[in-house]
Structure 1
Amino acid sequence: MALWRIRATVDDRPGYLSVLTASLALRGVNILTVQVHTTEAGAVDDFLVDAPDAVGEAELVAAVQRGRGRDCWVARSEARGLVDQPTRVLGLANRLIRDPDATGEMLRALLGADEVTWRAAPAVPHGGVGAASMLLTDPTGGAYVLRRRVPSFTPAEYARAQALVELAATVARREADRVTLVLPDGGEVAVRPSTADDLAGVVGLHEACSARSRQRRYLGGAAVPTPSRLRRLLEPRRGTTLVATTGCGAAADPVLAMANLLGEGDEAEVALLVRDDWQHRGLGSALLRRLLGHAGRSGYAAVVLHVQAENDPMLRTVRRLGRPTSIERDGALLTVTVPLAARAEGTGRPALPRQADATARRDRSG
């Protein structure tokens, strides 16, 4: 017996697949796996079969044609083809997470492409697929071009490949957010995106902060948030959370600060919590700048901060950004909006954070 891959198009009508499989069965061909790719021309059926040694390529093609199949492609396969497609894709994704620079290699392995190249700029806005070529948009810029003489690419293969490219871009962005910051006083901290494993460290951060620091962060109270709420902050549905730690940045290292970027429509809300003994060292400013950079790369139009009018340290941090800023006041609460599309003209000095400081001074003076 020998393993073969067979790909053929059949009319997407009830019973037509059974006619094809019956034609193969008459020649002693055992179907091991089958995938169905829906296309405008019909259903493209991809088989892995075990055929008698006496059955060759020409006879397999003839069997497909007698079974109402067309555009038939047949090639010998190996035992590794027995791995089902979802398992294979997950394996490639796992390898890609460990090495996002291997995107081209993973695409070649996924689709058996003859050629994979990367272009600095996409040829079309949103990619596309043809019979012998495929264009995949790289979210980080540029595009991957894949070519395969046979068999023809299908829309389902395009969707899998584009998902793999987007996964690589996500991993690359996360790695870009993993840095060691050198603070103005010479101190060093590791900054990285948070995970669920950081829950214990973030709880410890909140417990080490004063009630005043927690109240400034959460506005409504000084209690330590529940574990369920902190888990949602560590892995937000939209946005990102950064943690600053001592040591090499492992989950077991003490957490010194947490910075949240939570997406809502075309804006994202930003909030910071820095351990009391690490405040006034430039850590909050560094984290805020990184969040703004992430928000800009993610396509948000602006970031919003809700700040108590008496919170001078946070207002100074916003002013140091050197960006045009608008402020709305509701009682003792200021809503600070930082547009991401353009910077202030002229001197480049922020237009409105100084108003916030003036407002804070008026509050203190009564």
Structure 2
Amino acid sequence: MGLWRIRATVDDRPGYLSVLTASLALRSVNILAVQVHTTEGGAVDDFLVDAPDTMTEPELHAAIERGRGRDAFVVRAEAQGLADQPTRALALAGRLVHDPDSLGEALVTLLDAAEARWRPAGTVVLHGFDEERMTLIDPAGGTYEVLRPAPAFTPAEYARAQALVEVGGALVRRTAEQTTLLLPDGTELLIRAATGDDVDGVRRLLARSSAQTRRRRYLGVTHGPSDARLRRMLEPSSGLTLLAVRVDPAGEEQVVATASLLVEGDLGEVALLVEDAWQRRGIGTALLRRLISAAQRMNASAIVAHVGADNVAMLRTLRRFGVTGRDDRDGALLSLTLPIPGTGRRTAPDETPAASG
């Protein structure tokens, strides 16, 4: 028996797929996997089949035609084709996690394409696809032009490729936001964007922190947020959460500080927590500087911080960054507004959003 890949278009009407499969079965062709791509021209059926060794390509074409298939594409397949498309796509996404620069090769593998050509940013290329060419925006800059003479690309394949590109984009952004912070005593910390997988690490950070530190971060709540809320805070829908992480020689991570930015309209809100044993070493200042840069990229005109009047270290840090004007005070809570460099207006105190908790 030999493996073949078959793609054919049939009318998108009840029973037509069964006619095609019955025609193949009459020739002892065993269907191992099937996918259906909906297009304007009909349903494009993509088969991986096991056919008798004596069967030739013309004989397969004839069986497809008798089964009311048209525009057939038939080619020998390799054993790796036995993996279904979801498994294949997940494997390629996992490959990108370890090697974000392999997006072009991943697209070629996903689409069984002939090649992927990269074009630099500034080249006038519209993203989309036709029968033989698919163009996708490279999240790192430029575009990928993926070529496959046959079979014709389908909308489903374009959607899969776009999803893989989005995974690559998330990894590129995460890598760009990752840096090493060198403390005055020579200690190195990794600064990176948080993900939902960091809930346990941040929960351990809170457990090591004093009640006062937790109260200052969560504005009077000493036990911290629930795991569900903490996960949302680590991956805000509009904003960014950074972690300062110490990595031991074995590669184990210990989160020692968090810094969050939430953006609503043109106003951002920041909040920081540094573990007691790591305070007064410049970590909060370094994290705040990166949040200010992120707020600028998100077109925020100002950021606000809600700080307890007794949090002298945080107040000093904020004023070092240029907090101006009077403080908006509510009992023991101060709300300080910091204009973002390069933006126009100064946000008034009464425009302050609700605290993030």
Which bin holds the TM-score, normalised by the shorter protein? 0.7 to 0.9
Query: Structure 1, unaligned stretches of length 5 or more?
Result: 356-366
Separation (CA, whole Å) in 1 of partners of 2:120 and 2:315: 40
Query: Structure 2, unaligned stretches of length 5 or more?
Result: 350-357
Distance 1:132 1:272, change over 3 A: same
- Contact kept? 1:198, 1:251, Cα under 8 Å: no
- Contact kept? 1:20, 1:69, Cα under 8 Å: yes
- Contact kept? 2:29, 2:50, Cα under 8 Å: yes
Tell me the alpha carbon deviations over residues 193-239 of structure 1, each in whole angstroms, 9 at most, x when there is no partner.
33566445434433444444322211133344455544444455664
Deviates more, 1:14-23 or 1:237-246: 237-246
Distance 1:210 1:44, change over 3 A: same
Separation (CA, whole Å) in 2 of partners of 1:132 and 1:338: 52
- Contact kept? 1:136, 1:162, Cα under 8 Å: yes
Q: Map 1:19-168 onto structure 2 (within 5 A).
A: 19-121=19-121, 127-168=127-168
Q: Which residue of 2 aligns with 1:246?
A: 246
Separation (CA, whole Å) in 2 of partners of 1:40 and 1:218: 54
Tell me the alpha carbon deviations over residues 22-58 of structure 1, each in whole angstroms, 9 at most, x when there is no partner.
2222222221111001111111110111222332111
**Paired amino acid for 2:104:** G
Deviates more, 1:313-322 or 1:2-11: 313-322
Following superposition, the deviation at residue 89 of structure 1 comes to 1.2
Deviates more, 1:330-339 or 1:134-143: 330-339
- Contact kept? 2:136, 2:143, Cα under 8 Å: yes
Following superposition, the deviation at residue 91 of structure 1 comes to 1.1
Tell me the secondary structure at the aligned position of residue 246 of structure 1.
Answer: strand
Tell me the secondary structure at the aligned position of residue 145 of structure 1.
Answer: strand
- Contact kept? 1:93, 1:164, Cα under 8 Å: yes
TM-score (norm 2): 0.82
Distance 1:352 1:37, change over 3 A: closer
Q: Which residue of 2 aligns with 1:260?
A: 260
**Paired amino acid for 1:138:** D
Distance 1:204 1:16, change over 3 A: closer
Distance 1:13 1:247, change over 3 A: closer
- Contact kept? 2:219, 2:308, Cα under 8 Å: no
Separation (CA, whole Å) in 2 of partners of 1:126 and 1:304: 37
Tell me the secondary structure at the aligned position of residue 222 of structure 2.
Answer: coil
1:329 equivalent in alignment to 2:328: yes
Deviates more, 1:7-16 or 1:251-260: 251-260
Distance 1:183 1:296, change over 3 A: same
- Contact kept? 1:122, 1:143, Cα under 8 Å: no
Distance 1:187 1:168, change over 3 A: same
Following superposition, the deviation at residue 149 of structure 1 comes to 0.5
Stretches of 4+ moved more than 6 A in 1? 324-328, 350-353
Distance 1:116 1:214, change over 3 A: same
Q: Map 1:247-326 onto structure 2 (within 5 A).
A: 247-248=247-248, 252-262=252-262, 269-294=269-294, 299=298, 301=300, 304-308=303-307, 310=309, 311=311, 313-321=313-321
Deviates more, 1:97-106 or 1:269-278: 269-278
Deviates more, 1:310-319 or 1:154-163: 310-319
Tell me the alpha carbon deviations over residues 61-84 of structure 1, each in whole angstroms, 9 at most, x when there is no partner.
122222222211111112211111
Tell me how large the CA RMSD over aligned residues is: 3.4
**Paired amino acid for 2:307:** Q
Separation (CA, whole Å) in 2 of partners of 1:303 and 1:178: 24
Deviates more, 1:178-187 or 1:98-107: 178-187
Tell me the alpha carbon deviations over residues 70-104 of structure 1, each in whole angstroms, 9 at most, x when there is no partner.
21111111221111111111111111111111111
Tell me the alpha carbon deviations over residues 77-136 of structure 1, each in whole angstroms, 9 at most, x when there is no partner.
122111111111111111111111111111111111112012222767872111000011
Distance 1:215 1:303, change over 3 A: farther
Tell me the secondary structure at the aligned position of residue 60 of structure 1.
Answer: helix
Tell me the secondary structure at the aligned position of residue 220 of structure 1.
Answer: coil
Separation (CA, whole Å) in 2 of partners of 1:238 and 1:250: 34
Following superposition, the deviation at residue 19 of structure 1 comes to 1.6
* Identical aligned residues as a percent: 56
TM-score (norm 1): 0.80
**Paired amino acid for 2:111:** L
Q: Which residue of 1 aligns with 2:342?
A: 343
